[in-house]
Structure 1
């Protein structure tokens, strides 16, 4: 009888030990899995944070805008090449009342440009939009225009006087069949009153895209 009782107690002890061992094994496995998940979560969070920082760094940098008024399309062509070369945005200055071919006939004393040239009070040209979207984000601004009677075409004046160029580098450029850039850029700088205005560049009416691109690449824009 005592032997039977001893055998039963031995079996109970064996089963209890096995159960305890399995419980400890499962607990250890669970702890290992939890630690692994926490580690993976930490690494994932770290990776996400690093990616966010890298993305912010890659989107930081200067912003360039090419602003232009084009009467016949020549200045527009140069402006588009500048924008493509400098990876810049563009903004076209457009009068509320566009100039027609007849308006631009400077040989006719009664044409619109001739009347405006002879009477400076008539040069206040209303624009469809004076300030580009996100104007404050741009730190380099190209300003392009045709030359009219040795100065910048006056539809540009409303854009210049209507914006604050503080903290911006401003680079004028113009197109002309024969006239040079003259003092047109300096006069615009005086009109603006703010901004770091650079020397300008004159292009012929049929300037090649290579000539324009070479000029932009030589500016060492940041």
Structure 2
């Protein structure tokens, strides 16, 4: 009896220790769904650098072109390219936007002045021509949301390329704003291409969320 009682006590202690370790493991899991700080322009808050030459080579007939103010759109673009096996093209302003330029709370900042005066939104890019452009059947176009529309550096890229025969899929990043009519407005600017319904991702979107969306499109590189 004494031996049996000790054995039961040992088993109870072991079970309690296992439950305690499991609870600690769950509590240490990181939550990557917390959105970045909101701004009225929809600019992202995660710093990341874009390719110096504006283009990265890869395989397939899918292109992922994107403008990223501070990194979140670039992250989503990379997730899309990885999921679909596509190429990347960074839409890069000839005069990059600084942190001060992106300060929407300052009425004298660059984005505020451009927002107030549409004539200032003709942003010169380092490049608009994409190598082997004619070989791409599907083009993803990504951007942050600024005042409810696509960040205007994307306008220059869209207006300078012929999307005839291409399926075009817009995507955007924003802390809270929806994609709205941003994709439709870009389609009107382009005047060519088969533009699809776009997708909005929160700032700091996870790779899992992006890959799930890409898979739902039924595309193949």
What TM bracket, shorter-length normalisation? 0.7 to 0.9
**In structure 2, what is the equivalent of residue 122 of structure 1?**
120
Which protein has the larger Cα radius of gyration, Structure 1 or Structure 2?
1
Matches within 5 A, 1:1-222: 63-222=61-220
Q: State how far apart, in whole Å, the 2-side matches of 1:219 and 1:206 are.
A: 21
Q: CA separation in 2, counterparts of 1:62 and 1:221?
A: 11
Question: What is the rounded CA distance, in whole Å, between the counterparts of 1:221 and 1:107 in structure 2?
Answer: 41
Q: CA deviation at 1:206?
A: 1.1
SS in 1 for 2:201: strand
The answer (yes or no) to whether the contact 2:60–2:85 under 8 Å persists in 1 is no
Contact 1:62 1:139 in 2 (8 A): no
Q: Which runs of 5+ in 2 are unaligned?
A: 1-58
- Structure 1 residue matching 2:96: 3-state secondary structure: coil
Q: How big is the shift at 1:62?
A: 6.0
Question: Which is bigger in relative contact order (C-alpha 8 A, separation at least 6)?
Answer: 2
SS in 2 for 1:203: strand
Count of aligned residue pairs for this structure pair: 162
Distance 1:65 1:213 in 2: 16
Whole-Å Cα distance in 1 between the matches of residues 169 and 129 of structure 2?
17
Task: Name 1:29's counterpart in structure 2.
Answer: none
After superposing on structure 2, the runs of 4+ consecutive aligned residues of structure 1 that deviate more than 2 Å are none
Displacement, 1:173?
Answer: 0.1
Name whichever structure is richer in helix by fraction.
Answer: 1
Structure 1 residues 78-100: Cα deviation after superposition (integer angstroms, max 9, x where no partner): 00000000000000000000000
Q: Is the 8 A contact 2:123 2:153 kept in 1?
A: yes
Please give the secondary structure, in 2, of the residue aligned with 1:113. Answer: helix
